Amino acid sequence: MAVSINIQNVKKQYDDNVVIRDLSAHIQSGELFTLLGPSGCGKTTLLRMIAGFNSIEAGTISFDDRVINNIPVYQRNFGMVFQNYAIFPNMTVYRNIEYGLKNKKLSKQEIAQRVEAIMETVQIAPYKDRYPEKLSGGQQQRVALARAIVVQPQVLLMDEPLSNLDAKLRLEMREAIRQIQKDVGITTVYVTHDQEEALAISDRIAVMNRGDIQQIDEPEHIYQRPYNTFVADFIGHSNHFAGEVRGVEGSLTHIVLENGHPIAMPGLMPLKQGDRVQVFVRPEEFTFASKEQGMEGKVLVKLFLGRYINYRIDFGGPQAAEVTVDATTVDRIHDAGDSVYLTVNTRRANVFHPDTGVTLVEGVVSNVP
């Protein structure tokens, strides 16, 4: 039932405004594929091109081998969950879910069976006779999901489905969506601007910026080995250090950071002495160390968050760095004004070309076709 989606060199423009210039991606059958990016990056535009609400100016989109460019929306066989749920306000929960099935040549009995079954799956059965205005946001979300998947579409499209929910419901619903998607095994394209949500829910993530895909990969790769500085900055937080290559010794590349601290990075592409680089270190990629090993910094701000402690530390660079440590592993909590010494976890830190912003870590690719 599930299909793969092949997006080839598609283009989208509104009058003279080109939103997507030339975009390709291959979405595998049955996976949950997330389009992640800041607002205005073209992720929703792309989703609506797959749905057929937006026209495609060039290129093709196909479900398996079937090109869908010219197939009208109502014949594309996809289910969609909208940002505002788009539950029909004039129909009860049951009628909403039943709506798509009534359009198919099915017996009344089968319709009833399938509606009942999906209501059990999304846990909305007790509310089946209610009208949408009497439902909470989470319940509406479940109805929207049930309505989209009950017709057993080939593809499920979700446009920021959790953005209107409060934080607690968001966590609960994202687990529910993940579970149901796996159970049904439907190819899903999921749009969000929330990186944490994307990391938690996706099989693979495509990070988008200004109409282009920057990188496609599994969540942990996207986070740990970003292809370029945009991805590194958009997903999580990174501290930036300018650096210069001092020499190469076996698999280790020696780099001196702007504050004079030397680090030895493993697994980089071949670099020459004197090459300028950018080193990105995430807050959790620092370790407190002795005066001899670490680079010196001064604590500017300390935030105690229970499980973690956040520090803002001045290493003498242009910007203060953010450092996070697990509260359970430290012996001592530093206060503002303290002098501290930290080392960089070189197996985790990333190095980028200072001009192109592309990674210099060996073996990291964008996966963009």
Partner 1 sequence: MFPKKGVRFDFWSFVSLLSLVVFGLFLIIPVGQMVVYAFQNADGGFTVENFIKFFSRPYYVRSMTNSIVVVLSATLLVIAIGVPLAYITSTFQIKGRRLMDILIIISMLSPPFLGAYSWILMLGRNGAITTFLRDSMGIRIPSIYGFGGILLVFVLKLYPYIYMYTKGALKKVDASLGEAAESLGYHGIRKVLNVSLPLVMPTILAGATIVFLRAFADYGTPRLIGEGYNTLPVIIYQEWVSETGTNAYFASAVALIMMVIAALVFLAQKWISSRRSTTMSMLNPPKPKQLRGLPNVLAHVYVYLIVLLSTLPQIYIIIISFRNTKGLMWADGYGFGNYVTTFTRSLSSIINTFQYAIIAILIIVVLGTLFAYLTVRKKNLVSRFLDVFIMFPYVIPGTIFGLILLMTFNRPPLILSGTAAIIIVSYVIRRMPYTVRSSAAILRQISPSIDEASASLGYGAMSTFFNVTMPVMAAGILSGAILSWITIINELSSTLMLYTGKTQTMTVTIFQEISRGGYGTAAALSTILTVTMIVSLLLFFKLTNSEDIDL
Binding site for partner 1 (CB under 8 A): 49, 51-57, 69-80, 82-84, 86-90, 99-100, 103-104, 144, 147-148, 151, 157
Least distance to partner 1 from the beta carbon of 152, Å? 12
DSSP class of 228: B
Strand order across the beta sheet in which 262-266 lies: 262-266, 252-257, 239-249, 276-281, 350-352
Looking at the Cβ atoms of 66 and 347, the one nearer to partner 1 is: 66
Least distance to partner 1 from the beta carbon of 86, Å? 4
Strands 32-36 and 204-209, by their bridges, are parallel
At CA 155, angle to CA 178 and CA 191, rounded to 5?
Answer: 60
Looking at the Cβ atoms of 17 and 90, the one nearer to partner 1 is: 90
Least distance to partner 1 from the beta carbon of 351, Å? 43
Looking at the Cβ atoms of 86 and 169, the one nearer to partner 1 is: 86
Contact status, residue 115 vs residue 150, Cβ threshold 8 Å: yes
At CA 167, angle to CA 165 and CA 173, rounded to 5?
Answer: 60
Determine how many CB atoms are found less than 10 A away from the CB of residue 165.
18
Q: What residues are paired with 342 via a beta bridge? A: 288, 295
Looking at the Cβ atoms of 7 and 263, the one nearer to partner 1 is: 7
Looking at the Cβ atoms of 99 and 341, the one nearer to partner 1 is: 99
Helix (H, G, I), strand (E, B), or coil: what is residue 268?
strand
Least distance to partner 1 from the beta carbon of 184, Å? 16
Least distance to partner 1 from the beta carbon of 205, Å? 24
Least distance to partner 1 from the beta carbon of 159, Å? 8
Tokens of 346: 């070189």
Please name the residue that has the structure tokens 């607690």.
Answer: 168
End-to-end alpha carbon distance in the chain: 25
Helix (H, G, I), strand (E, B), or coil: what is residue 44?
helix
Looking at the Cβ atoms of 188 and 224, the one nearer to partner 1 is: 188
Looking at the Cβ atoms of 49 and 281, the one nearer to partner 1 is: 49
Least distance to partner 1 from the beta carbon of 101, Å? 9
What whole-number distance in Å separates Cα of residue 293 and Cα of residue 340? 11
